[in-house]
Amino acid sequence: ELAKMLKISRTTTLSSYRLLEERGLIQSKMGSGTYVNDSTKPTVDGSMAWDQLFSPQYKSPMASLLRTLIAAPTAEETISLAAGMPDPSFYPLDLIELAFTKRKDDFTRTDYGYIATEGYFPLRQAIAKWQSQFGSQATPDQILIVSGSQQGLYLTVKAFIEQQDYVIVESPTYLGAIQALEAAGARILTLPDSDHLDLELLEDYLIRYRPKLMYTIPTFQNPTGRVMSLDDRQALIELATRYRLVIIEDDPYSLLYYEKPAPPSLKSLDTYGGVIYIGTFSKTLLPGLRTGWVTAAQPVINRLAQEKQHVDLHSNNLAQFILLVCIEENILADHLTKVRSEYKKRRDAMVHALRRYCKETIDFSVPAGGFYIWCKIKHPISVTELMHRAAVSRVAFVPGIAFYTNGTHSNEIRLCFATHNEELLKEGIRRIGQLLMTLSTN
Ligand code: PMP
């Protein structure tokens, strides 16, 4: 209101708020508002000059903007299509409990102690066997268990990237990867969003910049939902072999297909040993077990294990045992069959609702798997205005700029169809349709 009276733009106001928050002068309370910190009142933080004590940290210019944008809509009745969260009501907890009871004596007292950093060996064996069904041949020694694929990503970046190293990513791409790369000081080269991999541009990057690695999500990409074709995969491997390019293949979604199975992973096509594959059980089963894995050449696994040792010695043993049981007792395979059909219905419900409520305002293509629909808003909009309106309309999503390294794209949004049932999805999209109509007529 004040900003309006004084004719200050919303962006300026938000930037000032961010600055004040960063300096500790104000504090945002989720779902409540922004409050001035009372400097006369002693706090538990005391009078420590924390900012001077912390080690230097890379601050992404986007990070605080995103925090402001994403943290804003928290009213209780908000329908959130933002997080890439499976539906908790699908978690097969009863089956897991039964199977755990049946198998718990296999997990000995020794297994509750410290174990090898590389992970619980029976799980590494089970993952090797599980992956072989999908054409990827690896020995248990080539598998490192990590605490979620985000940790796999972090360790890999830590092991390879020095300040100023070049890396190649798709644009847009997963926010968590951008953040891990930027925090390590990488210079990011982008391959623009397209139906086909731009091999010419990629080769140009390889010759000109000698990048340390390429990060890609070839199957049901986050956020676009795209699938790299088999031809492109083969051509990429051929090029990577010639230049000895290290590829990080991030693959949380390939088993969540709603039409036909995805093409083989890059790892399964890897003939030169340069692909570092990162898998996870977060989307296929449940994220809270925080368990994923890295499949790569033995020297890479050894180096990542060294890095992991500095972080947490090894991932949680019990979570690893539970996952072993889920694989061996077919809980994972049966669960996948079930959620594929459920998520397909939800995807279709979202598509249907988008066609009904957002026909004039949104362009999108139907993803063949994964969790997301990537939407292009047909008219120019201000992201801050959009997010503000979304908060008022009690619907949440991730603004497209979160998935770019330069923050220039602003007319896209990512919608997750996995978390809510069809009815809520429909209502969420109805709200988005309404708010976009009001934005476009303003
Ligand atoms: N990579 C991608 C592409 C993702 O979408 C996600 C989760 N949104 C992750 C990695 C991290 O998943 P987790 O750490 O839970 O395995």
pLDDT of 385-442, one tens digit each? 888 899 999 999 999 999 999 877 779 999 999 999 999 999 999 999 999 998 876 6
**For tokens 């999108």, what's the residue?**
364
**Residue whose CA is closest, atom 11 of ligand 1?**
150
Q: Which atom of ligand 1 is nearest to the CA of 151?
A: 14
Q: What mean pLDDT is predicted for residues 330-341?
A: 98
- Rg over alpha carbons for the chain, rounded to the nearest Å, is 23
How many angstroms is it from 252 CA to the middle of ligand 1? Answer: 6
How many angstroms is it from 365 CA to the middle of ligand 1? Answer: 22
Average pLDDT value over all residues in the chain: 90
- Model pLDDT, residue 384: 84
Q: What mean pLDDT is predicted for residues 263-281?
A: 97
Mutating to test ligand 1, I would choose from 149, 151, 215, 374 the residue with most ligand atoms within 8 A of its C-beta, which is 149
CB 95 within 8 A of CB 331: yes
Res 105 pLDDT > 80? yes
**For tokens 């293509």, what's the residue?**
365
Predicted TM-score (pTM) above 0.80: yes
String of DSSP letters for 396-434? E-EEGGGG-SS----SEEEEE-SSS-HHHHHHHHHHHHH
Higher local confidence (pLDDT), 281 or 41: 281
| Separation between Cα atoms, residue 196 and residue 232, nearest integer Å | 7
Q: Which atom of ligand 1 is nearest to the CA of 290?
A: 15
How many angstroms is it from 289 CA to the middle of ligand 1? Answer: 13
pLDDT of 180-225, one tens digit each? 999 999 999 999 989 899 999 999 999 999 999 999 999 999 999 9
**For tokens 């696994």, what's the residue?**
301
Buried b (16+ CB within 10 A) or exposed e, 409-433: bbbbbbbbbbbbebeebbbbbbbbb
pLDDT of 21-31, one tens digit each? 655 556 665 45
Of the chain, the percentage scoring pLDDT greater than 70 comes to: 85
pLDDT of 338-371, one tens digit each? 999 999 999 999 999 999 999 999 999 999 999 9
Distance of CA 280 to the CA centre of its chain: 11
What lines the ligand 1 site, CB under 6 Å? 84, 148-150, 174, 176, 217, 222, 250, 252, 280, 282, 287, 292
